[in-house]
Structure 1
Amino acid sequence: MAGIILAPEEKTIVGTRKGRPNHSAEFRRQLAVAACEPGVSVSKLAREHGINANMLFKWRRRYQAERQAETTRLIPVTVVSDVPNDIGPAALAEAAVMKPGAPAGTIEVRIGRAVVRVDGVVDAEALRTVLESLRS
């Protein structure tokens, strides 16, 4: 493992709190990246750079959360506006019966006047993303 060596002036920023250094964002990011590498001892890495291991664990969690947020992807959605105003039992029964000639794998979710329709082969992860976005 190649250790991260930073010049002392790059490591800390003089802060307003007595006895507690404020480390630069770049320094925190570099250590968090190093702590994410396989086989790295976070405690040893923290000791080598003179910081508390719990602080490095916190920086690593924050870095991983930021990376996860960057990889979240959205899928295209089409809003259908020709939905009837009131959906009664007859309309629900008609929607429950699969019409001949309809493509296999059609999923339709109605919430109020909004309709989400997925046709064809459905990727489970993409469907999970759509349904989770409806919750919020």
Structure 2
Amino acid sequence: MTETDNKVVSIIFDLMGTTLEQSAEKKPGTRAGRPNYPRELRERLAAAACEPGVSVAKLARENGINANMLFTWRRRYLAEQQAPSAGLVPVVLLSDTPTEVVASSPGESRAPDMKPASPVGTIEIRIGRAVVKVDGLVDADMLRTVLGSLRS
């Protein structure tokens, strides 16, 4: 390594708050030949590898680890960042006024200017490009069935 490369490596270590010697310390009970890097170091390097314009192979080389290992850490880090949370989802109420349902017998004719009665409720669920829309009377059992089918 040239002197400039050594300076760059030391700057990176200073920014990360660790040194290779600190991260590679042998801990009792660890297997020889397969280092167990601290989780903080793995996450810091994976986050650094996600930055635009960063060469993952060069970053791995500068930190004395295998590039394939850093690629694996980065893939896991990105998966954790994109993992869906089990929290609440936003709900938008389009109209809070209930619509009126008018029952009519099959033989009864409607006036030409009357529109058919609109359904009582609508549930619309958007997941990515998929849209599930349920019109009409929607009770708890129907909602359970629709949401259960989305899981599978």
| TM-score over 0.5 (shorter chain) | yes
Percent identity reads 53
Aligned residues of 1:29 and 1:59 also touching (Cα < 8 A): yes
In the superposition, relative to structure 1, how do residues 132 and 44 fare at CA in structure 2: closer, same or farther (>3 Å)?
A: farther
Paired positions, count: 102
Give deviations 1:88-107, integer Å, cap 9, x for gaps.
xxxxxxxxxxx613379653
Distance 1:72 1:56, change over 3 A: farther
Asked if residue 67 in structure 1 is aligned to residue 86 in structure 2, the reply is no
* Unmatched segments (≥5 aa) in structure 1: 78-98, 118-129
TM-score, length of structure 2 as denominator length: 0.51
Matches within 5 A, 1:38-77: 38-69=52-83, 74-75=88-89
Q: Which has the higher contact order (CA 8 A, sep 6+)?
A: 1
Structure 2 residue 3 is the aligned partner of structure 1 residue 4: no
Name structure 2 gaps, 5 residues minimum. Answer: 1-7, 92-115, 124-132
Contact between 2:20 and 2:63, CA under 8 Å: does it hold in 1? no
Is 2:130 the partner of 1:116?
no
Deviations 1:97-128 (A, max 9, x none): xx61337965328xxx83139xxxxxxxxxxx
RMSD of equivalent CA atoms: 3.9
| Residue type at the aligned position of 2:119 | A
Normalising by structure 1, we get a TM-score of 0.56
Aligned to 1:100: 117
Larger radius of gyration: 2
Distance 1:65 1:132, change over 3 A: farther
